[in-house]
Amino acid sequence: MLNDLDRFYLEKEEPIKSCLLALKQLILSYNPKLDHQWRYRLPCFMLSGYTFCYLWIDKKSQYPYIAIGKGNEIEHPDLVVGGRKYFGLLLINPEEDIPVEKVHEIFDQVMQLYPAEYQQ
């Protein structure tokens, strides 16, 4: 029997399913202190009690995205903040290679906003 976290990934259609699973691995490999949890009905990646990021799918484009906590506090041309007070969104085209360097660049900027003990 699948739990909610596994169901989120496995019940998606391709290529979204593969994209989300790859993003999950990318995020978890970024920092060993990140904990993958089902919170707020979302697959969240927690950093010592803080929501570092979560994964979701944009209703309009149907692209998966990484919603990055504290993303509103950094500047990056591909990060969509809009009127959000805490998160910035990075849309990922499931038909293309995941921009690993871009994701790491954004994560590196955000990680600088956390206390040193949470950083790698």
The pTM of the full predicted model, rounded to 2 decimals, is: 0.93
- Per-residue model confidence (pLDDT) at position 119: 66
Q: What is the DSSP string of the chain?
A: ---HHHHHHHTSPTTHHHHHHHHHHHHHHH-TTEEEEEETTEEEEEETTEEEEEEEE-TTT--EEEEEETGGGS--TT-B-TT-SSEEEEE--TTS---HHHHHHHHHHHHTTS-GGG--
Task: Determine, yes or no, domain membership for 40.
Answer: yes
Task: Determine, yes or no, domain membership for 119.
Answer: no
pLDDT in tens, the chain (120 residues): 779 999 999 999 999 999 999 999 999 999 999 999 999 999 999 998 899 999 999 999 999 999 999 999 999 999 999 888 899 999 999 999 999 999 999 999 999 998 877 666
- Per-residue model confidence (pLDDT) at position 19: 98
Task: Determine, yes or no, domain membership for 77.
Answer: yes
- Per-residue model confidence (pLDDT) at position 70: 94
- Per-residue model confidence (pLDDT) at position 120: 61
Task: Determine, yes or no, domain membership for 53.
Answer: yes
Task: Determine, yes or no, domain membership for 35.
Answer: yes
Task: Determine, yes or no, domain membership for 23.
Answer: yes
- How many domains, the chain? 1
Task: Determine, yes or no, domain membership for 48.
Answer: yes
CATH of the domain at 11: 3.90.1150.200
Task: Determine, yes or no, domain membership for 101.
Answer: yes
Q: Provide the residue range defining the domain that includes 18.
A: 4-114
